[in-house]
Structure 1
């Protein structure tokens, strides 16, 4: 039947009837193009996707892996803010994780399920209860890895366990290293906002906007989004809480070990551009177009001799000032915050430079580190015996690495926010490995990143360790706290040890020690954290 015959047949009827007939005519082939399937399908703003059905114990789930949330950041889009996805026709299969972002193999504990590595990596993954149609709470999780490594496909971030508890769970890939955190004067010049750097964090904002636009189609409530992350992911959460670009895109926040606060403070844009210029000079490339034309693998390999994590900068767009300044003014997102750090974020050998933990060696190490402030440091981190040296130097190493930044975030948020703050101290060491190396012993404390499997209910996915009943009990408690907080903004719930919000008590601040035997204690570390705060202020590069 032609378009003309449809109009003629409408003849004596209304013009609206003709329009309706045409709509029905042209709708038929579209409906026929999408054949029925036994697998879950969802219509997004950009097109149809099809995932897979998957159980989580007795709870039926649906998984969608490798959903694009932004255009591939390649070619002219390298070092550009994320751009919208190009819509697709038909049904896009999202049953496999998208490629991980460009990165070197830096960390042995990262177990990827991604399909290779590519600069085209802006994908996210969703786990949801099957047939969920109500307004379920949502978790958006950002991985750790120093902004130079990590991936949303890692087993320890798997979202099935939390989805089985009625939470729509999302993991997000974001650009890393030189691809995500790089600045040049030419990049700032071409930006309408005169900003450069922080592309990986802009990716996270784009993902949150995608969640706001699409998560209701998965049964999630866009008004009940919790952002969370560990290490670099936690640092990102602290930055998102202060960025104007992410305001209103989340209702709660979780930080596991890390904040964008000294000694992990952001650089100035000028300093970031200086570093970028030196990197380009080392490559022998003198123009932005030539840098964008370089193969991704060549850029990646050129970063091999760079030490440390990638840097965030005060770019004037994502960040207009350091987060600590924003928080001190009370201008951060006023949302409930759950955060904490672990009992062994660092190890005493880092302070002693692998020398024996004698009081003499310890005192010499503090003199080298703190100069004329060594005696004050020794009073706060005493070392009168080898056992005390091991304890104090381990605490100092952890504070220097990442525990101090986390404590400062807690303190700033508690003092300058109307929303409650829940502070934890994770103290459950991992058990012995199933197949330890000769002479290898378990860690005596909870190492950096060691809480992830416990918090997300993923002990079973890590087959390296011989998990015990105590570990499973700790995981049930910590995941229970996380689930309750994601649902309500308060970690307390039936069967869980009571966890009070931060408040002053008996000369300190209340925090929750999470381990095989979980309970509330008083954190008495304010004096040593104040000492370190002053030390970092006088030894950090000014913006």
Structure 2
């Protein structure tokens, strides 16, 4: 293996890391008076806060210990408690580098948060969000995905979990550790299933409908959602799904997961027969070892020339083990188990500007077309000229930098999203709806005059309706990615209303948006979400035809 340090590892992560370490947003909880609220759930009573018209419960345990003897295994049974347990503070996130304004990461991390308008008997739709951060970082307590505004403004219940990540969540031991460790390569996913089971058993106490649950997520959370969409264990617990900028078409085959496990054991000087020594390795040491392996992206390409996936990747993410995850989520087809469950899928128009910002890449902004050819050739080889020619024809006014961003954005998150939509249509079951998020931030990538546009992860605060005018007459604060323009409040309202209506009815709709037709293979309607939403037929038709012709779609 080729060791890399954690800084390099995180900088190369082609997933959403924005929502996990960004400063607190303007919509953080205010100092308005709050009241305690108590509710009894399956394992005892809990106490949350009522603030600004929303009941908020944080740090609720939804399963037992996953440390010690339960490392790499199903959680221990959750023990009931007496008295009233405080649910006022976030629970520990999974093992990872420290997170801003959150508790210290810990192995025992199976906590969830709930936002609800009221703990009454009203059957509200439940929106079960899977956080981003790939499969290695993130939590259900990130500020940008605070569920307060969705709950208050759209009368829904929002649930978000912490779950095992990285090596502790996805180390494949099935072939060397025996029956007790069956499913070890997908423990992080099974944690989410445990969270969904908790929802089934408890959400009625929070004014939610256990029979109307939507799973959704962005970036790595989108890929997690794609996996849940294909998992028999998850099937009884949700009714619809949304995969956002994280098209999990394919996951890690068990053959490659086996190689990754072997590399890890070799690096730790542990013989396969002595694998139990892993149970005694400090979590901090495992995190350090994890950083020496490549990341697992949410969209693993298929190498058409050899008919199988590239073998130049490893790391820790969901494993196609034939049992917990029976097959790739959307390869060779959409999962039959979710045939009758409606689906939303799509991506942001300028995904790559996030990564340019994160990596301090300013060079792309000065490219001319000769430089663009040189920049793309290492990845696309003999196809490079055809790619550039296609984009120049389709976008005659585009600069070289514009084309670089467009190419990088669609290959990161767009092609997989289209593939999912097409395969879902071919299944001839429940509808699928394809979208592009397009609101343009005026903020510049530092060191350039190039605007962020619609970067990866900017959709999080918009779809959670966390881009809203401030209360009480105070001046609005600048959005981290979204900029200063007041129009962003309208775009956020549109996005949130489309998603909450989908959660409620299975069909996305909003007062100020046109009717959103289901995707089909004739006119391929795509909803572009902005201050003014519009349905665009056959969007990116020239570009997609080109990507198909070179085997990328």
TM-score category by the smaller chain?
A: 0.7 to 0.9
2:286 partner SS:
helix
- Cα deviation digits, residues 394-414 of structure 1 (max 9, x gap): 222112222211121112112
Out of 470, 477, 487, which is 2:504 matched to? 487
Q: Decide whether aligned partners of structure 1 residues 203 and 50 sit closer, same or farther in structure 2, where only a CA change above 3 A counts.
A: same
Out of 136, 140, 145, which is 2:124 matched to? 136
**Is 1:357 aligned to residue 357 of structure 2?**
no
Q: CA RMSD in A?
A: 2.9
Q: Unaligned regions of 5+ residues in structure 1, if any?
A: 1-36, 106-110, 539-543
CA distance in 2, matches of 1:240, 1:530: 30
**Is 1:260 aligned to residue 275 of structure 2?**
no
What residue in structure 1 maps to residue 70 of structure 2? 77
Q: CA deviation at 1:177?
A: 1.0
What residue in structure 2 maps to residue 62 of structure 1? 55
**Is 1:422 aligned to residue 433 of structure 2?**
yes
CA distance in 1, matches of 2:103, 2:295: 26
CA distance in 1, matches of 2:228, 2:335: 16
What residue in structure 2 maps to residue 271 of structure 1? 256
Further displaced range: 329-338 or 481-490: 329-338
CA distance in 1, matches of 2:480, 2:406: 26
Q: CA deviation at 1:519?
A: 1.1
Work out which of the two has the higher radius of gyration on C-alpha atoms and give 1 or 2. Answer: 1
**Is 1:304 aligned to residue 320 of structure 2?**
no
Q: Unaligned regions of 5+ residues in structure 2, if any?
A: 1-33, 297-315, 469-476
Out of 361, 364, 369, which is 2:379 matched to? 369
What residue in structure 2 maps to residue 239 of structure 1? 227
What residue in structure 2 maps to residue 198 of structure 1? 186
- Kept in 1, the 8 Å contact 2:443–2:452? The answer is no
Q: Decide whether aligned partners of structure 1 residues 138 and 251 sit closer, same or farther in structure 2, where only a CA change above 3 A counts.
A: same
CA distance in 2, matches of 1:167, 1:187: 44
CA distance in 2, matches of 1:352, 1:379: 24
Q: CA deviation at 1:79?
A: 0.6
Q: CA deviation at 1:481?
A: 0.8
CA distance in 2, matches of 1:330, 1:119: 34
1:130 partner SS:
coil
TM (normalized to structure 1)?
A: 0.82
CA distance in 1, matches of 2:442, 2:371: 30
What residue in structure 1 maps to residue 40 of structure 2? 43
What residue in structure 2 maps to residue 23 of structure 1? none
Out of 412, 416, 421, which is 1:410 matched to? 421
**Is 1:282 aligned to residue 267 of structure 2?**
yes
Further displaced range: 144-153 or 365-374: 365-374
CA distance in 2, matches of 1:319, 1:326: 14
What residue in structure 2 maps to residue 17 of structure 1? none
What residue in structure 1 maps to residue 349 of structure 2? 343
What residue in structure 1 maps to residue 325 of structure 2? 319
CA distance in 1, matches of 2:442, 2:280: 48
What residue in structure 2 maps to residue 9 of structure 1? none
Q: Decide whether aligned partners of structure 1 residues 117 and 196 sit closer, same or farther in structure 2, where only a CA change above 3 A counts.
A: closer
**Is 1:95 aligned to residue 111 of structure 2?**
no
CA distance in 1, matches of 2:549, 2:281: 43
CA distance in 2, matches of 1:120, 1:391: 45
Further displaced range: 80-89 or 203-212: 80-89
User: Stretches of 4+ moved more than 6 A in 1?
Assistant: 348-353, 383-386
Further displaced range: 513-522 or 350-359: 350-359
**Is 1:454 aligned to residue 471 of structure 2?**
no
**Is 1:160 aligned to residue 148 of structure 2?**
yes
- Cα deviation digits, residues 239-277 of structure 1 (max 9, x gap): 11111111121111111111222xxx2122121021112
2:441 partner SS:
coil
Q: Decide whether aligned partners of structure 1 residues 336 and 300 sit closer, same or farther in structure 2, where only a CA change above 3 A counts.
A: same
Q: Decide whether aligned partners of structure 1 residues 380 and 415 sit closer, same or farther in structure 2, where only a CA change above 3 A counts.
A: farther
CA distance in 1, matches of 2:326, 2:200: 24
What residue in structure 1 maps to residue 484 of structure 2? 467
What residue in structure 1 maps to residue 531 of structure 2? 516
- Cα deviation digits, residues 416-461 of structure 1 (max 9, x gap): 142122211111123438xx96x56563420001111111011269
1:67 partner SS:
strand
What residue in structure 2 maps to residue 189 of structure 1? 178
Q: CA deviation at 1:86?
A: 1.5
- Kept in 1, the 8 Å contact 2:422–2:521? The answer is no
Q: Decide whether aligned partners of structure 1 residues 234 and 329 sit closer, same or farther in structure 2, where only a CA change above 3 A counts.
A: closer
**Is 1:227 aligned to residue 215 of structure 2?**
yes
CA distance in 1, matches of 2:200, 2:396: 55
CA distance in 1, matches of 2:385, 2:480: 42
- Kept in 2, the 8 Å contact 1:227–1:253? The answer is yes
- Kept in 2, the 8 Å contact 1:338–1:421? The answer is yes
Structure possessing the higher relative contact order (Cα contacts under 8 Å, 6 or more residues apart): 2
Q: Decide whether aligned partners of structure 1 residues 376 and 191 sit closer, same or farther in structure 2, where only a CA change above 3 A counts.
A: farther
1:248 partner SS:
helix
**Is 1:293 aligned to residue 299 of structure 2?**
no
What residue in structure 1 maps to residue 79 of structure 2? 86
What is the number of residues matched between the two proteins? Answer: 484
